[in-house]
Amino acid sequence: AAKALTPPDIAARKGKMPLVCLTAYTTPIAKLVDDHCDVVLVGDSVGMVLHGLPSTVGVTLEMMIMHGKAVRRGLEKAVMVVDMPFGSYEEGPEQAFRNAARLMAETGCSAIKLEGGESIAGTIRFLAMRGVPVIGHVGLTPQAVNAFGGYRVQGRDEDAEHILRDAVTVSEAGAFAVVLEKIPETLARQITQEVAIPTIGIGASPACDGQILVVDDILGLFGTFRPKFVKRYAELAGTAEAAIATYANEVRERRFPAVEHVFGDVPRPVNGGEA
C-alpha cells in the first residue's frame, strides 16, 4: 500500500506540485478518489449533495461523524479532513476543541476544516497548539450564506483587502492550508504569494497551490447544479437515468430476470403465459 500522507506533507507542498483534493462522503467513492488525491475532504456539502438540505447550515456533528467513518474505511493514502459543521466551533476555542477531538477520535481523520478568517483565528491557534491540524476556509464561506444573502463571488472590491487579511491571519494562527472559495484570480494570486501555507482553490483560479471540487459535481451525478467554477468530467446522472429506465422497461416486459439470473432449472419463461 502507498505511504499515507500527513498534514505536514501537505504543508510542505507549498509552491511545488499542485495539491489535488476532492470531497468524499461514502466508502466506495473514497476508494475511487484515494489513489488520485492528496487530500480527501468529508465536506459539510454532504448535507446539500446527499441529504437534500437547502444549505450547509443544518448539517450536524453526528452527520459528519457518520460520513467520516464511512470515508475512513475507503482511504489508505490521502490525508482525510472533516469539516466542522455550523454551530460546532463558533462559541469559542473550548467548544471547538471538544468537537474537533470527537471528530478525530470517532472518524480517524487527521485534520479538520473550519470556516472564517480573523474572527476564528484564536480558535485555530488553540486547536493547532493542541494537536489538531486545521485547514482554514475564507472568501465565500457557505455556512454564512444567510449573512451573505447568497453565494456571490467575494472580494471583488473593498472586501478584497479583508479577505487577504483573513487568509494571512489564518496562516499565522497555525493552519496548515487554507481553502479560498469563489474569489477573483488577482486576489487568489496575491493571497497565494503572501501566505506561507498552501492555498486550495474552489472557484479561485489556477493561481492557487491546489484545487478542490465536490466529487459529485465533477462526475455530473445530478442534473441542475452547474456553477461556473465546476468542470464536469463525466455525465453520470444521464448514464444512471438510462440504466434505470432500461431496468424498468425490462421488468414490465418480463425480460428481466432472464435465465442467467435465476436459481434452479428454468425450462421456459415462468411468467408471460403463452411462451
Query: Where along the sequence are the contacts to ligand KIV (CB under 6 A)?
Result: 23, 41, 43-45, 83, 179, 202, 212, 214
CA distance 273 to 104: 60
CA distance 50 to 162: 33
- The three cell numbers of residue 200 are 486550495
CB of 117 to Na ion, least distance (A): 15
What x/- string results for residues 80 through 119 when contact with Na ion is judged by CB under 5 A? ---x------------------------------------
CA distance 78 to 9: 10
- The binder of Na ion chosen from 13, 24, 43, 219 (CB under 5 A): 43
Known binding positions: 44-45, 83, 113, 115
The nearer residue to Na ion, 43 or 198, going by C-beta atoms, is 43
CA distance 125 to 129: 6
Q: Is 201 in the site for Na ion (CB under 5 A)?
A: no
- The three cell numbers of residue 149 are 444573502
* Listed ranges 43-51, 104-112, 149-157, 159-167: which one lies at the site for Na ion (CB under 5 A): 43-51
Q: Under a CB-based contact definition with an 8 Å cutoff, are residues 153 and 180 in contact?
A: no
Question: Which among ligand KIV, Na ion, none contacts residue 214 (Cβ within 5 to 8 A by kind)?
Answer: ligand KIV
CB of 256 to ligand KIV, least distance (A): 37
The nearer residue to ligand KIV, 56 or 123, going by C-beta atoms, is 56
- The binder of Na ion chosen from 34, 38, 44, 217 (CB under 5 A): 44
Known binding positions for 3-methyl-2-oxobutanoate: 44-45, 83, 113
Catalytic residue (one of 76, 158, 181, 194): 181
CA distance 194 to 170: 12
Long-range Cβ contact pairs of 43-47 (< 8 A, separation 24 or more): 43/83, 43/214, 44/83, 44/84, 44/85, 44/86, 44/142, 44/143, 45/83, 45/142, 45/214, 47/85
User: Is 181 one of the catalytic residues?
Assistant: yes
Q: Distances in Å between the alpha carbon of 82 and those of 44, 150, 204?
A: 8, 24, 21
Taking CB atoms, the residue at the shortest distance from ligand KIV is 43
CA geometry: angle at 84 spanning 179 and 156, to 5°? Answer: 35
* Listed ranges 35-43, 120-128, 156-164, 231-239: which one lies at the site for Na ion (CB under 5 A): 35-43
CA distance 45 to 221: 14
Size of the site for Na ion (CB under 5 A): 3
* Listed ranges 39-47, 124-132, 150-158, 200-208: which one lies at the site for Na ion (CB under 5 A): 39-47
Q: Which residues bind Na ion (CB under 5 A)?
A: 43-44, 83
What are the residue numbers of the active site? 181
